[in-house]
Amino acid sequence: MSTSSAAASAGLKTIKQILPAPRPHWVGDGFNVFPVFANKAFTQELSPFLMFDYASPKKFPINTGRPKGVGQHPHRGFETVTLAFQGEVEHADSLGNVGVIGSGDVQWMTAARGIIHQEFHSNDFSKRGGVFEMCQLWLNLPAKDKMTPPKYQEILKKDIDNAVSPLYEYSKDEEGCGAKADLEEGCVRVIAGKFGEATGPASTFTQIDMWDITINSANKSYEFQTVAGNNVIVFVRRGEIEVQGKPVGSQGVAIMKRDENTKVVIEAKEEKSQVLVLAGEPIEEPISAQGPFVMNTRQEIMQANMDFQSGNFGT
Residue 153 carries which side chain, given as an amino acid letter?
Q
C-alpha pair distances (Å), 286 with each of 3, 125, 201: 34, 40, 29
Beta bridge partners of 84: 134
Beta bridge partners of 151: 110
> Annotated binding site for Fe cation, which residues?
73, 75, 117, 119
> Annotated binding site, which residues?
73, 75, 117, 119
Range 237-253 burial, b when 16+ CB lie within 10 A, else e: bbbbbbbbeeebebbbb
DSSP 12: B
CA dihedral 5, 10, 12, 16 (to 10 degrees): 0
Q: Report the C-alpha gap between 201 and 130 in whole angstroms.
A: 29
CB-neighbour burial class of residue 25 (10 A; exposed 0-12, middle 13-18, buried 19+): exposed
Q: Which residue, among 275, 221, 225, has the nearest Cα to 244 in the 3D structure?
A: 221
Which strand (E) or helix (H) includes residue 274?
strand 273-280
Q: How many residues does the chain have?
A: 315
DSSP 161: H
